[in-house]
Structure 1
Amino acid sequence: MVTVRWAVLAVGVALVVLVAASPATALSCVGHEDASAAAILAGEERLGTLRDFDEDYRGAVLGTVTDVDTDEREGSATHGATTVHLEVHATYGDVGAESVRIEMSDPGWMSGYPFEVGTTYFVPIRHEPNAIMGCEPITPVAPDEVDGLVAQLDEPAPGVVLTVGSERISVVPAASGEGDDGGLHPPAWLWVALAGVLVAGAVAVTAIVGRD
């Protein structure tokens, strides 16, 4: 049984190393059956949350992405931080803007939305918090559908710039103390995952020892 115990411990250690070494994966979302602009305007949307659009969102903007700026500096305290600029063609609901500035923790690597320059999107704006995540019912709009949607929506508010998601989440926090050691500083959720793996390994070892 000693061999079995060591085997279990080895598996536990391997799992810990695997979790620690694995890169973060993209946020997993419940799909939206129909989050199109047409469905939302008609009140016939079918969102993955099973909630009505206006329960979580105060409106939306129809806009084209003019710029996507991502901090790709390795070791930076704001590594992955992404700013997206949209030129607004029309608005829906309680949203008035001529342009929108979206700030996300990343450009779609983990929890952000993968906006592309030159593409037009129907972008919902939440009541609270003032942020946009990758799971939002954001939908690309085909060029030949833009004019039809503009005719159903409100005009942009001249001179108004709407900033969404002003609180950025640092993927690689800066090192404490003077300077940056250049190393990787895992986020808090990784330590929780490691603790879970360690507990599971301890339970397995205890069960085997108890059978001796």
Structure 2
Amino acid sequence: MRTALATGVEPAERPILTGLVTTAWSTYVLPAAGLGARGRAVANASFAVAVAAVWGSNAERLGLRNAASGLKWGAAAAAIPVLGSAVVAAVPALRRRVRPSEDDLVEWVLFRIPVGTVLTEELLFRGVLDAASPALSPIFFGLWHIRPARAAGDSVVGTVATTTVAGVVFSWLRAHSGSVLAPAALHYALNASGAVLAHLAATELERS
């Protein structure tokens, strides 16, 4: 099946072109739109759905028909960051190292993370790019985080390296579970656990 992306583009070039588009979107296009957090989540999800549609992604390609396997692998993987966050929350010395955030926790964990982060990134990188080039997918996943690192004042090189490694883990889960649901579950658990810790840190700071 020929898609709009495939027209005039050699198969080997498609993942590179898609990766460059995702990097340009996250680094330049989305920030230039000047949207708030909620608007960015909606814009990101819309962008991801559009890219997946151009690639002709469907339930079979995303591994949604392997939901049982995906959820089993995802639940096992998600338990690791959840337990790790529980340890951090219980140990004062570790808890004090968490960067506080005053963002609305409910909106963060029920909308912005699942829609603007997990749905968007898993659809783009494990749904689309993994199917085309498992080697390139983690690299472009790392590059996707250039702008967020700058916005947070974090090391760009460190953030890109860390998220590239995370992308390798997510891609491994995708391959071994046969479903995008497995990395999505781990991804959500990582981000939501971090959001809860940041909220607890902010609450503790207010009380001190």
For normalisation by structure 1, the TM-score amounts to: 0.25
Larger radius of gyration: 1
The structure whose residues are more often helix, as a share, is 2
Q: Which has the higher strand share?
A: 1
